[in-house]
Structure 1
Amino acid sequence: MMERSGNKRFYLGVVLIAIGGLLMLQRLNLIPWDLAEMLISWQMLLVAIGAISLMNGNRVWGVILIGLGVFFLLPEFIDVPREIRRLYWPFMLVLVGAALIYRQHGNRLHMPGGSVGKSFDEFDDFVIFGGREIFINSTNLKGGRSTSIFGGVEYDLRQATLAPEGAIVDCICVFGGTGIKVPLDWQVRNEITTIFGAFTDKRGDTFRHGQLDTSKTIVIKGITLFGGVEIKHV
């Protein structure tokens, strides 16, 4: 499971490096303006997110996002009649609706989501343009990885029991967020790197530091980029 998560983050890293590299070349005037405008566009963003989805097993949404990106890029290459261009957004709605119906009939995807239950000792979740609420009741929770891009995921760990050595949760939030509900006696250690993001512990007055059990420690690691991680009890 962790190997699959490593692949996911590898692909995300490649995409971010490619986008950053293109932006640098464009700023240095090393690529033609017309080409830069096409490559650094919301249409190509759809293609990139679709490619990530495909590589992570979300075939339906991956194909749809790539198809939409290419469809909206067509006017850059060919002269599309106005009558066809008027069908762009209705066509997109039909595609998204068809994908939702397909997903409802048993295809397990991570975008958008609902609520699921897990008894795994380790978890691995990847959410794009959607949200999931996940209840975990593991009796030996070791931690996991959570990646959210333009979406959010919330974990309810209040019925879980930590492994004797504690747990480590590695979060990546890019224009997204992760919420984690924990028991009152758990000690939470923040090791998040925030870039235009935030880490907040909203338990506030619902617990006293004297109630914390140092033998029950969960470490929150990772990075937030225009996103956030939130710890709470209710």
Structure 2
Amino acid sequence: MERMEEKRKSNNSRIIIGLIFLAVGGFLFADRFNIIPFNWNHYIFTWQSLLIGIGLISLAKNESRATGSVLIAIGGFFLAAKIFGFHYPIRHFFWPTVFVGLGLLLIFQRGGNSHKNRLGRFDKGEIDMDIIDDIAIFGGSEQKITSKNFKGGKVSNIFGGSTFDMMDAELAPGRNVLDMFCLFGGSKIIVPAGWSIKIEVTSIFGGYSDKRRIAPKGGIEVDRELVIKGVVIFGGGEIKGY
């Protein structure tokens, strides 16, 4: 049942992405044949449209509905301003938009068994919860996860960073999702060598990488998996194992 649900979500993602490419290709053909009477490429091939596209892909991949919705809202606002001739400098609205977007993300992403907010400070501690919910803003943390039935959770790093040591933890059976959001920040996850990990992160001027050594053949836990999802913007993350 779980694999069927994952396959359905994957098919939906391909359909949405395919429709986006078809729409762009259709606009290009229409432009070549002079069917469209206005210079639409000044609106389509812009950073505003890029944000909308990334938001749609994020929603299609079911990574983070809150993040995808905020990206679409920000891109749509500035694209509408461009189309309707709202000529105020964008820099005047950049930071207000950022703070509104961050506020919406924090509201809609709230949840989990262990919820911690860090604003402008660095914390170090131990978490024995199956689901984590960690937010670091202008600060950071080093957390040791000791749960023997870890199911994932949510992590948000905004102008901050966090490190999660899971060497003494164990994954719950099946598929466990950790939703990451990094904006001008990053995270590091330290895991045992035998963990099966899949990275499904949307990166914008950033990245998320698995830097573990290749585990010995037969040493991977095939019945337990940790899936890293989410969005990384001007930030990054890495997975390490010792």
Interval of TM-score (by shorter of Structure 1 and Structure 2): 0.5 to 0.7
Give the CA deviation at 1:54: 8.5
Q: Which amino acid aligns with 2:119?
A: M
Match of residue 216 from structure 2: 208
Task: Give secondary structure in 2 for the equivalent of 1:48.
Answer: helix
Structure 2: any 5+ residue segments left out of the alignment? 1-63, 109-115
Give the CA deviation at 1:55: 5.3
Match of residue 237 from structure 2: 229
Superposed CA offset, 1:101-133 (max 9, x none):
xxxxxxx74123321211111111122222111
Structure 1: any 5+ residue segments left out of the alignment? 1-8, 57-107
Match of residue 155 from structure 2: 146
Change (3 A) 1:209 1:30: farther
Task: Give secondary structure in 1 for the equivalent of 2:174.
Answer: coil
Q: Which amino acid aligns with 1:152?
A: G
Q: Which amino acid aligns with 2:92?
A: M
Match of residue 86 from structure 2: 31
Decide whether the 8 Å contact of 2:70 with 2:105 is kept in 1.
Answer: no
Match of residue 180 from structure 1: 189
Of 203, 211, 233, 1:194 maps to 203
Decide whether the 8 Å contact of 1:15 with 1:48 is kept in 2.
Answer: no
Task: Give secondary structure in 2 for the equivalent of 1:21.
Answer: helix
Which aligned pairs between 1:61-210 and structure 2 lie closer than 5 A? 109-112=117-120, 113-204=122-213, 207-210=215-218
Change (3 A) 1:128 1:11: farther
Q: Which amino acid aligns with 2:159?
A: F
Question: Partners of 1:166 and 1:10 in 2: how far apart?
Answer: 19
Question: Partners of 1:156 and 1:186 in 2: how far apart?
Answer: 13
Change (3 A) 1:12 1:221: closer
Change (3 A) 1:128 1:16: farther
Superposed CA offset, 1:176-226 (max 9, x none):
222111111111122222233222111125x33442221332122222222
CA RMSD of aligned residues (A): 3.2
Decide whether the 8 Å contact of 2:74 with 2:97 is kept in 1.
Answer: no
Decide whether the 8 Å contact of 2:118 with 2:139 is kept in 1.
Answer: yes
Q: Which amino acid aligns with 1:192?
A: V
Change (3 A) 1:51 1:144: closer
Task: Give secondary structure in 2 for the equivalent of 1:148.
Answer: strand
| Number of equivalenced pairs | 173
Question: Partners of 1:165 and 1:136 in 2: how far apart?
Answer: 19
Question: Partners of 1:166 and 1:156 in 2: how far apart?
Answer: 20
Question: Partners of 1:128 and 1:14 in 2: how far apart?
Answer: 21
Q: TM-score, normalised by structure 2?
A: 0.59
Of 82, 89, 100, 1:48 maps to 100
Of 55, 74, 78, 1:19 maps to 74
Match of residue 5 from structure 1: none
Question: Partners of 2:73 and 2:181 in 1: how far apart?
Answer: 18
Q: TM-score, normalised by structure 1?
A: 0.60
Give the CA deviation at 1:12: 5.9
Give the CA deviation at 1:29: 5.6
